[in-house]
Chain A
Amino acid sequence: MTNIAQSGIARTGPDGLSIHTSGDARKRLARRYAAERRFRRLGLGAVLLAMGFLLLLLSTVVGKAIPAFTYTYAVLPLDLAGDKINHDDPLRSNFDAIVKAAIAEALPFAAGRKQRRAARGLISSGAAVILRDMVADDRALIGAPRAIGLPVSDTLDLYFKQLTAPRRSREPQGSATPSATSDKIHIAVEDGVIGSDEQFGRDAPSHLVFINGGVVKITGADGEGLQGDVLVPLQSTVPAAQGDWRLVTINQAESARKISDREIAYAEILNGMGLIERRFNAIFFTRGASREPEMAGVWGAVVGSFFTMLVTLALSFPLGVASAVYLEEVAPKNRWTQLIEVNINNLAAVPSIVFGLLGLAVFLNFFGLPRSAPVAGGMVLALMTLPTIIIASRAALGAVPPSIREGALGIGASRMQTVFHHVLPLAMPGILTGTILGVARALGETAPLLMIGMVAFIVDIPGGALQPATVLPVQIYMWADFPEPGFQQKTAAAILVLLGFLVVMNAFAVVMRRRFERRW
């Protein structure tokens, strides 16, 4: 018996304790428990990391997108009654000249060529178009001078949103006395406002002094004060007390940014006059694509996406449900139906761009469908969504218990009557859920649409499924490539719109699944 005991059944350690209670065993156990805890934490960490990625993704997009939902407008008094209005046909009026005149009135000192150009550059080059559209909507605007908000240029908008030209404003010690009101002047200030070792010029940070209603760009500093060029004429040469003048330092060199010191000075003067307003960015939600960031809107792409999804749904839903009904309810189980099944499962795994190749070769080149039109795009996406819908529909049909079919057949219904009167209605919630998920995926798809020319630059808002259009994801793809910084915000905002649609569709699918889910 001792033999058996020693050979392992009730083995004891060298210290006479059981192997489960010896010090070594305790250490081993502690190690194993530690490994257990480590593993568990690792798993939790992985889940949290994945959720963190999602949070980071969403916060990046939302953070970038929020500025794009508002836009900076300059409210200028426009002369909508004068000789620039064509009273016979108001839409043919010279709106550009009206805008120019309004700018000139607001900034009367901007008289030279250079100054006029800078002043004109403050307002979007599309302002005249917007004004014309406003008049087209409401002819009553014509006939009296009116203050109307016009969008500023995209760089100025970024400037007011603090997204370009980082700057710091301070009110230095002591008073300041300008020597003149225009051209090159000298401002007597206490020593040390700007260090004498400071660099000046186009490649160094800019310093602007706002004093006596004017703006001076500092070009040099010495022990007695500052030298500078007047950008906006001063109203007087009286000394400005401490607190009545301020120094704005723009840390980015003028050559490294898109907005010049002169434009900043003019913009700040307009802002001081209370003419600058931040408003809801209606342009973004009502207009089509544009090369100018301030004129670019997402509406054209939304409408294009709508038509494309309409075509996709109209084709893939009936086709998908019909094939699912055939395969699940009608077809005999033979080689032929097996071939179809394998095909469908394989199609579900084909990369989406391959469907684009198919669409290019068949729909565009063979059948000659119009390029960039929602019909072609919708057909390609319908083929892509089809396997998803078929698989979901078959699962839903399969979940309907056989007793329903047997009951219907038992009281004399034909096979078709059984399917269409009893099985299909019961499976409908599941089928619809699968369809919504499939269409949501199609809504976010870019690659196949690139293949059939839906990347075209289309300004007009499409009026039907046969007209050239672009869709939201492709618009995002295009905007993401544009170099203007204004488009970065637009891209993020368009992504937010797209994600909004996707979330609504998915939430709808989830709610429907919950509401109609039936356990047999």
Chain B
Amino acid sequence: MASTYLALLIGFALAAYFAGARRAVALSAGNPASLHSRPAYHGFYAAILATAPGFAVLIGWWLFGGRVLDRIVGARFQVLLSAMSGPQQQAFIRDARNLAGGIVYGEPTPEKEAAAALYRSLFASTDIVLGLILAALAALGLVLALRTITARRRTRHFVERFVRGVLIACSVVAILTTIGIVLSLIFESLRFFQKVPFLDFLFGTHWSPQSAFVGAGGDGEIDAGVFGAVPLFAGTLLITLIAMLVATPIGLLAAIYLSDYASSKFRAVAKPVLEILAGVPTVVYGFFAALSVAPVIRRLGDGMGLSVSSESALAAGLVMGIMIIPFVSSLSDDIINSVPQALRDGSAGLGATKSETIRKVVLPAALPGIVSAMLLAVSRAVGELAAFALGLVLFCMTLALNVIALGVVARYRERYD
């Protein structure tokens, strides 16, 4: 129903636009120059006044309406729900809501049927109320707009201020996202650390969260001993280390070759090819690791008399390394290119070969940038390895790495002018 209202509102906005524009033209009495703003702005003015409150109500209802209805149903079935555990209550409400929407999972109990019926009647009545509110707001807005439109009315200023407000609201979404991320991580982590002591988590050596919830869905006892993060961190560090051992030399050398040696034709081919490597989704690399790399490593290990697990960190690290090669190379490329040509020319003038110039002049000058590029690559690698229970730690780790990277750059950046 909400989408119908949305379509109706959009249609009404169009109608209000034409009504406003026509009203302005009529007021100008054949002399458009007598209007302060062009008729289109009067049209926008009418459309905004008529439908902006309606859109706000609709969005607000869409975001919060479900919760309100859940509360009402929860209050009606309080006796039943109070006998249930938290997750069961949520499941009951969810199932009832789905049932009302026509999605049936399994055999619904009579209580759920009753709750679904309540939902259905609530849906119907709120739809009517919502429709009435929207219609009233739209009619009021349109009347107000048409009455206030005069030839000298500065509707362009109004419309532009409104657009400006919308633009500001859009750019605030980025801040809201950050706040949301931080808050959700903090709250989830706090809940987690209520169940599992912080020190046990940080220094525990046993990680198998699947075995913690034996009675799934219930509020059963949680074995805090299986949330030790040490194996996870050790694994992440090991894989990241292997990945960097693969990606750093290959990526750096590739960047040097492409920026200082390669012909422009070769570069035109090689750069997009490396970028394709960056565009391949992570799942594909996972498949590649499991299917091609791990068996090869396993066979190699068997050949050398070592027993290698088919899910070895070596395979994961190698593939992760391949994955971040383009990341390292494109970042390094930018940094190497930003070293001024004068330094190279000076070195060449002293008789150094190209490779000597690169190793003794360009790389030291670019070092801080390269270090920060590597740290960024590490933070991407760590991010890809993410296990969700570690969200906060992960967020802090990548944030810290980013800050360190920026700090390194700021501290050691040499300005050449």
A contact residues vs B (CB 8 Å cutoff): 32-33, 35-36, 38-40, 42-47, 49-51, 53-54, 56-57, 60-61, 64, 318-319, 322-323, 325-327, 330-331, 339-340, 343-344, 346-347, 349-358, 360-362, 366-368, 371, 383, 386-387, 390, 414-416, 440-441, 443-447, 450-451, 468, 473, 476-477, 480, 488, 491-492, 495, 498-499, 502-503, 506, 510
List 14 A–B pairs whose Cβ atoms lie within 8 Å, in order of A's numbering: A35-B356, A40-B257, A319-B170, A344-B174, A346-B399, A349-B376, A350-B383, A351-B380, A354-B386, A356-B388, A367-B64, A444-B284, A495-B284, A502-B280
- Whether A353 touches B391, Cβ cut-off 8 Å, given contacts A35-B353, A56-B292, is yes
Tell me which of B168, B185, B290 contacts A326 (CB under 8 A): B168
With A353-B383, A446-B283 known as contacts, the answer to whether A414 contacts B156 (CB < 8 A) is yes
Query: CB of B106 within 8 A of chain A?
Result: no
Q: A46-B250, A57-B288 are in contact. Are A319 and B402 (CB under 8 A)?
A: no
Stretch at the interface among B215-223, B268-276, B307-315: B268-276
* Interchain CB contact under 8 A, A476 and B283: yes
B188, A357: Cβ atoms closer than 8 Å: yes
Pick the 3 closest A-B CB pairs, nearest first: A351-B383, A444-B281, A43-B257
Nearest-Cβ distance from residue B254 to partner chain A, whole angstroms: 4
Q: Which residues of B contact A450 (CB under 8 A)?
A: 388
Minimal beta-carbon separation of A220 from chain B (angstroms): 35
Apart from A47-B253, A495-B283, what 20 extra A-B contacts exist at CB < 8 Å? A38-B355, A39-B354, A46-B251, A47-B262, A57-B277, A323-B173, A326-B170, A339-B175, A340-B174, A347-B177, A350-B398, A357-B181, A361-B184, A367-B66, A383-B173, A443-B281, A444-B279, A445-B281, A451-B388, A480-B283
Query: Mostly helix, strand, loop or mixed at chain B's interface?
Result: helix
Contact indicator B188/A480 (Cβ below 8 Å) = no
The answer to whether B177 and A358 have CB atoms under 8 Å apart is yes
Interface size class of B (residues with CB under 8 A): 35 or more
Q: How far is the CB of A301 from chain B (nearest CB, A)?
A: 12
Question: Are B290 and A480 in contact, with the CB atoms below 8 A?
Answer: yes
**Chain A, residue nearest B270 (CB):** A47
Question: What residues of chain B lie closer than 8 Å to A488, measured between beta carbons?
Answer: 291
Residues A362 and B180 in contact in the complex (CB < 8 Å), given A39-B358, A57-B288, A441-B279? yes
CA distance A360 to B391 in the complex (A): 12
B67 touches A50 (CB 8 A): no
Closest A residue to B169 by CB, please name it: A322
Expressed in whole angstroms, the minimum distance between the Cβ of A48 and any Cβ of chain B is 9
Given the known inter-chain contacts A43-B261, A416-B160, please indicate yes or no for A351 contacting B280, CB distance below 8 A.
Answer: no
Contact A351 B394 (CB under 8 A): yes
Which residues of chain B have C-beta atoms less than 8 A from A506's C-beta? 276, 279
Check B353–A476 contact: CB distance below 8 A: no
Residues of A within 8 A of B325 (CB): 50, 53
Choice from A60, A339, A371 contacting B292 with Cβ under 8 Å? A60
Select one of A340, A352, A499 contacting B280, CB under 8 A: A499
Contacts of A414 in B (CB 8 A): 156, 160
Are A386 and B173 interface neighbours, CB within 8 A? yes
> Whole-angstrom distance from the CB of B193 to the nearest CB of chain A?
15
B residues lining the A interface (CB < 8 Å)? 63-64, 66-67, 70, 94, 103, 156, 160, 163-164, 166-168, 170-175, 177-178, 180-181, 183-185, 187-188, 249-254, 256-258, 261-262, 270, 272-274, 276-277, 279-288, 290-292, 322, 325-326, 329, 353-356, 358-359, 376, 379-380, 382-384, 386, 388, 391, 394-395, 398-399, 402
Q: Is the CB of B291 within 8 A of A60?
A: yes
A509 to B367, alpha carbons, bound, how many Å? Answer: 33
Q: Are B384 and A476 in contact (CB under 8 A)?
A: no
Partner of B254, one of A50, A346, A510: A50
Chain B residues near A33 (CB, 8 Å)? Answer: 353
C-alpha spacing A42/B165, complex, angstroms: 56
Contacts of A360 in B (CB 8 A): 184
| Distance between A79 CB and nearest chain B CB, rounded to angstroms | 36
Across-interface contacts of B167 in A (CB, < 8 A): 322-323, 325-326, 330
On whether the beta carbons of B261 and A40 are closer than 8 Å, the reply is: yes
- In the complex, what residue of chain B is closest to A38 when comparing beta carbons? B355
Check if A357 sits within 8 Å of B284, measured CB to CB: no
| A352 touching B383, Cβ below 8 Å | yes
Select the residue from B251, B287, B291, B395 with max chain A CB neighbours within 10 A. Answer: B287
- Given contacts A33-B353, A358-B180, are A367 and B276 in contact (CB under 8 A)? no
In the complex where A46-B253, A46-B254, A354-B395 touch, is A40 in contact with B355 (Cβ < 8 A)? yes
Residue in A64, A368, A446, A492 whose beta carbon sits within 8 Å of that of B281 in the complex: A446
Q: Which residues of B contact A441 (CB under 8 A)?
A: 279
Q: Is the CB of B175 within 8 A of A343?
A: yes
Shortest C-beta distance, A110 to chain B (Å), equals 37
Closest partner residue, chain A, to B403 (CB atom):
A346
Residues of B within 8 Å of A318, CB to CB, are 170
Q: Are B273 and A51 in contact (CB under 8 A)?
A: yes
A446's nearest neighbour on chain B, judged by CB, is B283
The distance in angstroms between the C-alpha atoms of A327 and B274, with both chains bound, is: 32
A323-B173, A416-B164 known; A350+B395 contact, CB < 8 A? yes
A434→B92 CA distance, assembly (Å): 44
A441 to B276, CA, bound (A): 11
Q: Are A340 and B175 in contact (CB-based, < 8 A)?
A: yes
Residue from A54, A445, A446 with most neighbouring chain B CB atoms (10 Å): A54
Give the chain A neighbours of B355 by CB distance below 8 A: 35-36, 38-40
**Once bound together, how far apart are the Cα atoms of A53 and B273, in whole Å?**
11
Chain A residues near B274 (CB-CB < 8 A) = 47, 50-51
Does the CB pair B170–A349 fall under 8 Å? no
Q: Which residues of A contact B272 (CB under 8 A)?
A: 510
Q: Within 8 Å CB of A445, what residues of B?
A: 281
* Cβ of A363 to closest chain B Cβ, rounded Å: 10
- Which residues from chain A contact B394 at a C-beta distance below 8 Å? 351, 353-354
Q: Give the residues in chain A near B386, CB-CB below 8 Å.
A: 351, 353-354, 447
Q: Which residues of B contact A356 (CB under 8 A)?
A: 388
In the complex, how many angstroms separate the beta carbon of B64 from the nearest chain A beta carbon? 7
The distance from the CB of B392 to the nearest CB of chain A, in whole angstroms, is 9
Contact partner, A47, options B156, B184, B257, B282, Cβ 8 Å: B257
| Residue from the list A43, A64, A444 in contact with B291, Cβ < 8 A | A64
Q: A residues within 8 A CB of B292?
A: 56, 60
- The residues of B that contact A349 with a CB separation of less than 8 Å are 376, 379, 398, 402
Pick from A346, A357, A510 the residue with the most CB of B within 10 Å.
A357
- Report B-chain residues with C-beta under 8 Å of the C-beta of A357: 181, 184-185, 188, 388, 391
Cα–Cα, bound, A323→B171 (Å)? 4
Partner of B402, one of A43, A331, A346, A368: A346
Which among B172, B173, B276 has the greatest number of chain A C-beta atoms within 10 A?
B173
Contacts A323-B173, A343-B175; is A416 near B163 (CB within 8 Å)? yes
